[in-house]
Amino acid sequence: MAFEYTEITDPLFVENKGQTGEDDYIMVRAKQYSHVPIKIPNWTPQAHCYTTLFKQYEQELLEAEVYPDDVWVISYPKSGTTWTQEMVWLICNDLNFEAARAESLQIRFPFLDVSLIHPTDTSSFERAKNTPRPRFIKTHLPVSMLPRRYWEVKPKTIHIRRNPKSVAVSYFYHSQGIHYRGSMDTFLRSFVREHQFYSPYHAHVIEYHELQDCDNILYLSFEEMKHYLPSVVRKVCEFFGKAYSKPELELLYQHLSFKSMRDN
């Protein structure tokens, strides 16, 4: 069995379970992880928070295809993922703003593992599989749960992180807009106790940080993008072997400005 499943018995979670808007939270831990090139001595993955839907899709996750021309963006939720996706897609697609406006980011950059946490009409793994190549893939999966083929192929990957306080507040408002019915205080206490989807936050960030010997991964931060966007764009262009003129880059900076992304 590739994964271990345990119920959440934390009294705070049990007391406030009805406020989550979901009835089937569960902790999932990967049991097969010797192939992960992590530098932490005697590393054992922690369990992460999902729903029981994980059991339905675990084989699709394990066997998900990964291609050499894939581009992956990986993050803990609400870490600047959408912002990063838009930047990466445009840089890799010759700054085709018209195409970006014509098709939603959800289509251009499918969310690989959303079926693990929310019911979907079609398996998100199947949708990603059928996406025309070169594919752009978004995921919030922790290191220990990436598809087996990821480590064999090692596609170009951007990992984006963000200050946990900002993540927690943003995550509350995001969850409130989808399913969460509780107070911010209850949500934040639950976040700290690692009972929000994809938690624990710190394990996610630290474990990816310990992969920094992997030359297929470029590490960015939300704060770096907010304060030094041109520097980040140059770094990403270099990572993907792309070069653009100063006027072209100015258009990209404008498109990706914090105000522009917030307004859209």
Q: Which residues are catalytic?
A: 140
Q: DSSP readout, the chain? A: --EEEE----HHHHHTGGGSS-S-EEEEEES--TTS---STT--PPPEEEETHHHHHHHHHHT----TT-EEEEESTTSSHHHHHHHHHHHHTTT-HHHHHHS-HHHHS-BTTGGGTS--SS-HHHHHHTSPSSPEEEE---GGGS-HHHHHH--EEEEEE--HHHHHHHHHHHHHTTT--S-HHHHHHHHHTT-STT--HHHHHHHHHTTTT-TTEEEEEHHHHHH-HHHHHHHHHHHTT----HHHHHHHHHHH-HHHHHH-
Note the residue count of the chain.
264
The amino acid occupying position 31 is K
- Using only C-alpha atoms, the chain has a radius of gyration, in whole angstroms, of 18
Distance CA 168, CA 187 (A): 8
Distance CA 239, CA 174 (A): 31
